[in-house]
Structure 1
Amino acid sequence: MYQSLEQFSKSWIFKRHDPKVEPEDLQQIRLLSEPRAGQIWHDYISDEQVHPDHFTDRDWLKKASSQAPDGKLQWEKAWDSEQAPLPDELLAHFSAWGDDTTVFFCCHNELVFELTWGVFKRTWKAFLFLDNGPILVGKKKKQAAQFHTNGWANLLFRVS
């Protein structure tokens, strides 16, 4: 179900001093095995596409009904700052999530991380080194976000 983070070619993002990922948080970041990642991707993201670059209008992320009102925000300024917290708009969008909510940070159908919302809030800057369209979803939750290399994120609601 899981594989070692050491097998991840970019595991260095979790070992940097800036941003620092504390050892107790690192232990809670799980890299899913490729079969399990594929299942999460299929269940939560897309049953047709394998990478964010390939989403079409048939994927829920592209549907107008999945877009949150005022659903675009600039994340890169907060990422570049000395401040650690996620941007307020992201925290507000995910305010229904408890710190123990299981979340999936989905890069593509073979690369998915599992962790808790509390750990993600503390380590988000490390994850956004992987900013080429990953989607953050919560287990059994409707809120989601997709992060883009241009420094913007789309706030979303999962719809069928």
Structure 2
Amino acid sequence: MNYTELDNYTRKWIFTHASMPVPAADLEQIKPLTQARSAQLWQEHISKQSPDADHFEQGDWAFDAKIWSTPEDWQDAWDDDELALPEAILTVIKWEDNTTVYFCYEKYNIIETKWGVFKRNWKNFLFFDDGPILLGRKQKQALWFQSNGTYQLASRP
């Protein structure tokens, strides 16, 4: 089994919080991966050696600062009443809404969902903003959210 039931997910509250509840139809498409599946995906697509974004090192594709765009702000959009993902992200990432995406908090904590679900509920995902990376299945673009309220884009190998 690759998934953990959302009801058993330790961070379920970020999707059911009274101030920003995720619609039931979207909740069904938010699938936390098991720790084993998360670790496998992390090792295949992010790092074979680093457990989280704070510890990237030589040999990790994400370690190369030259591949990342100039940091841009996401915090202002998160704080305002508008629900939409920042326009600067949407102009660069043109994935189909049904593209499978992985929101990678760290090696043992990854959520699988669809790009459309993420776009509608991105603020919930970013209740924890300690360096998560968003990857699209079969997509080269990556989006790295920093805890200082900025994000950066890159094309991964």
TM over 0.5, yes or no?
A: yes
Q: How does 1:59-78 map to 2 (within 5 A)?
A: 59-68=60-69, 71-78=70-77
For residues 58 and 152 of structure 1, what CA distance do their matches in structure 2 show?
Answer: 24
1: distance between equivalents of 2:54 and 2:63?
12
TM-fit CA distance, 1:65 = 4.5
Which structure 1 segments of 5+ residues have no match? none
Structure 2 residue aligned with 1:114? 112
Deviation at 1:60, TM superposition (A): 1.1
1:124 and 2:125 are equivalent in the alignment: no
Number of residue pairs matched?
A: 156
- Gaps (5+ residues) in structure 2? none
Q: Provide the residue aligned with 1:143 in structure 2.
A: 141
The CA distance in 1 between the partners of 2:97 and 2:134, in whole Å, is 14
How do 1:9-28 and structure 2 match up within 5 A? 9-28=10-29
- Matched with 1:157 is 155
Deviations along 1:9-68, one digit per CA (max 9) or x if unpaired, are: 221110013323101100100000111111111111111111111112421112144223
Counterpart of 1:112 in 2: which secondary structure?
Answer: strand
Question: Following the alignment from structure 2 to structure 1, what is the Cα–Cα distance between the partners of residues 87 and 99?
Answer: 19
Q: Render the CA deviation track for 1:102-160: whole Å, top value 9, x for unaligned.
A: 0000011110000000000001000001100000000010111111111011111112x
Which structure carries more relative contact order (alpha carbon 8 Å, separation 6+)?
1
1:44-100, Cα deviation, whole Å (9 max, x unpaired): 1111111111112421112144223xx3210000000000000011112211x1001
Name 1:134's counterpart in structure 2: 132
Match of 1:91 in 2: 90
Structure 2 equivalent of residue 39 of structure 1: 40
Higher strand fraction: Structure 1 or Structure 2?
A: 1
Q: Indicate conservation of the 8 Å contact 1:93/1:143, yes or no.
A: no
Distance in 2 (CA, whole Å) between partners of 1:10 and 1:92 is: 30
State the TM-score, normalized to the length of structure 2.
Answer: 0.94
Task: Report runs of 4+ in structure 1 exceeding 6 Å deviation.
Answer: none
